[in-house]
Copies of this chain bind each other. A is one copy, B any other.
Amino acid sequence: MAADVTKDTIHDTIAKKLDVTGHLSATSATANVIKLADLGCSVGPNTLASIHDLIHVIKQKHPSTSQLEFQVFFNDLPSNDFNALFRSLPLPADGGRGYFAAGVPGSFHGRLFPASSLHVVQLYYSIHWLSAAPKGPPANRGRIHYAGASGAVLEAYKAQWGEDMGRFLAARAAEVVAGGMVLVVGPSIPDGMPYSRLANGIMFDCMASILLDLARQGMIKEEEVDAFNLPIYAPLPGDIEAAVTKNGQFTIEAMGLNNPAPWLTEGVHVDMVEFTGHIRAAMEGMFLSHFPSHVVGILFDRLAVMMSELSEEMESAYKDKIQVYFVLCRK
A-side interface residues toward B, CB under 8 Å?
1-3, 5-7, 9-15, 17-35, 53-54, 57-58, 60-62, 68-71, 73, 78, 81-83, 86-87, 89, 92-94, 100-106, 110-117, 119-120, 177-181, 183, 185, 253-254, 256, 258-263, 323, 325, 327, 329
With A29-B28, A261-B3 as known contacts, state yes or no: A110 contacts B92, CB within 8 Å. Answer: yes
Bound CA–CA A305/B85 (angstroms):
39
Q: Is the beta-carbon distance between B179 and A262 smaller than 8 angstroms?
A: no
Q: Is the beta-carbon distance between B111 and A14 smaller than 8 angstroms?
A: no
Q: Is the beta-carbon distance between A114 and B33 smaller than 8 angstroms?
A: yes
Bound CA–CA A243/B29 (angstroms):
29
Bound CA–CA A254/B14 (angstroms):
10
User: Could you tell me the distance in whole angstroms from the C-beta of A29 to the nearest C-beta in chain B?
Assistant: 3
Q: Is the beta-carbon distance between A180 and B117 smaller than 8 angstroms?
A: no
Contacts of A89 in B (CB 8 A): 78, 105
Bound CA–CA A159/B256 (angstroms):
60
Bound CA–CA A253/B2 (angstroms):
19
Bound CA–CA A174/B240 (angstroms):
42
Bound CA–CA A101/B57 (angstroms):
28
Q: Is the beta-carbon distance between A24 and B177 smaller than 8 angstroms?
A: yes
Contacts of A117 in B (CB 8 A): 28, 31, 33, 71
Bound CA–CA A19/B24 (angstroms):
25
Q: Is the beta-carbon distance between A3 and B262 smaller than 8 angstroms?
A: yes
Q: List 28 A-B contacts (CB under 8 A).
A: A2-B258, A3-B259, A3-B260, A3-B263, A6-B258, A9-B256, A10-B325, A11-B53, A13-B254, A14-B58, A15-B60, A17-B181, A17-B253, A17-B329, A19-B179, A20-B58, A20-B119, A23-B177, A24-B34, A24-B178, A25-B32, A26-B29, A28-B29, A31-B115, A71-B113, A89-B105, A93-B112, A102-B102
Our pick among B18, B26, B27, B54 for the contact of A120 (Cβ within 8 Å) is: B18
Q: Is the beta-carbon distance between B18 and A25 smaller than 8 angstroms?
A: no
Bound CA–CA A33/B33 (angstroms):
15
Specify the chain B residue showing the minimal Cβ separation from A64: B21
Contacts of A116 in B (CB 8 A): 27-28, 30-31
Q: Is the beta-carbon distance between A6 and B185 smaller than 8 angstroms?
A: yes
Bound CA–CA A327/B71 (angstroms):
27
Contacts of A31 in B (CB 8 A): 114-117
